[in-house]
Amino acid sequence: MKKLDLYLLRQFISILILSLLGFLCVFVIVDLIENLDRYIDNKMPWGIVLKYYGYSLPYFINIALPMSMMIASVFSIGLMAKRNEWTAMKSGGISLYRLTAPLLLFSIAVSLISFEFDNTFVSWGMSMRGEIEKEYMKKKPRRRSKKTIKDIFMQKQEYQHIVITKYQSHSHKAEGITMITFADSLIQQRMDAKKMTWIDTLKSWAISDYSLRNFDKNGSEINVIISKRDTLLNFDFEPDDITKGNKHPDELNFEELKARIKYLQSNGVDATRWKVQRHFKVAFAFTNLIVVLFGIPLVVMKPKSGLAFGGGVSFLVIFSYYAFIKFGQSLGINGVMDPMLSAWLGNIVFISGGVLLLFSVRK
């Protein structure tokens, strides 16, 4: 049985690597064609473009891996069925469960590695890619600015943290502003304002209905200023800093998201969107197990047309799964469902379906 397990795993891994390389080539070519006009309009040096795609590779691998796992499971088992190897194994008393055990264990290992890969390389690559976009893609930016941006967190230098509950990019108006200035890891000043508007002619922010608290070197409050009048203040940021400086959740790893959530909640800011993204990082890694659970029985159900049937249905399954997890995320972000449940909803449904399908096929 050990030789059989190694034979199956070698076949599975070889197909997995070829599929992964194929998807990576497709992703890079499609992305290059789609964004070529942006690179030309922004006069990006080709060295920077190559570096940009180098940073994008971990993200492309993360997206392509589940699809490659699905293809590998379908074709590795499908080729065995086509060559009558599966029939011979059944005659020898080997069950489908025993045959697929090494693939399922391998997919669990890949899921765990995928989670670590996401947190180590994908978030880092997306962050570096974002820096290139800010510096070199000012014309026709890849990410279009939203009219309304919620739950913004910015850090100016290392001593000033800014949280904005809602920002209207077209009118340059903000609501629910908290600005904290640190000195030697202790709060030096805290400003809370209900509204803030950018005055372009004066290059200043007008804040209203605000409180300003100052602290001594021991962190004790010295004085408090409370005012409902409009006051002009010169902050170390402008509207462009808000729209461009707002980091996307993909650019943060699991621990950074955890720290961001803790900080936002400690300042009274709704962190639901960030909670959903944090749970989703774990849930998405197990996509690799789910697709294998579905791929194996799809081939065995119809051995004579296993490859064609399994290949066609597998793509339908994986795209349906992607649509379902996005639907779950939207429920969590909008507060309809608990953040953890919304992130895992697709996994729960499709793992249940995969297990039922595996137990329903002929052994």
Q: In this predicted model, which residue has the larger pLDDT, 87 or 165?
A: 165
Q: Which residue has the higher pLDDT, 232 or 138?
A: 232
Three-state SS for 84-149 is: CHHHHHHHCCCCHHHHHHHHHHHHHHHHHHHHHHHHHHHHHHHHHHHHHHHHHCCCCCCCCCCCEE
Q: Is a pLDDT exceeding 60 seen at residue 157?
A: yes
Higher per-residue confidence, 284 vs 264: 284
pLDDT 10s digits, 281-340 = 999 999 999 888 887 877 776 655 556 666 677 778 788 888 888 899 889 988 889 999
- The position carrying tokens 């579905």 is 294
pLDDT computed for residue 118 by the predictor: 92
| The predicted structure's pLDDT at residue 25 | 95
| Confidence at residue 131, expressed as pLDDT on a 0 to 100 scale | 82
From residue 226, how far is each of 190, 231, 327 by CA, in Å? Answer: 12, 11, 44
pLDDT band at 227 (very low <50, low <70, confident <90, very high): confident
Spatial CA neighbour of 176 closest among 156, 196, 161? 196
Q: What is the CA radius of gyration of the chain?
A: 26
Nearest to 51 by CA among 116, 120, 163, 129: 129
5: pLDDT strictly greater than 90:
no
| Average per-residue pLDDT for the chain | 84
Instruction: Give residue 162's pLDDT band: very low, low, confident or very high (50, 70, 90).
Output: confident
Is a pLDDT exceeding 70 seen at residue 144? no
DSSP track, 40-57: HHTT--HHHHHHHHHHHH
pLDDT higher than threshold 80 for residue 207: yes
Longest CA span, the chain: 86
Q: Give the residue-averaged pLDDT of 36-61.
A: 91
pTM over 0.85, yes/no: no
Tokens of 107: 């997919």
Mean pLDDT of 190-204: 89
Highest mean pLDDT among 15-24, 87-96, 228-237, 349-358: 15-24
**Residue 43 backbone zone (phi > 0: left; psi -120 to 50: alpha; other: beta):** left
Question: What burial class does residue 328 get, using C-beta atoms within 10 Å of its C-beta: 0-12 exposed, 13-18 middle, 19+ buried?
Answer: buried
pLDDT of residue 158: 63
More confident residue, 147 or 36: 36
81-91 pLDDT tens trace: 777 776 677 77
pLDDT band at 241 (very low <50, low <70, confident <90, very high): confident
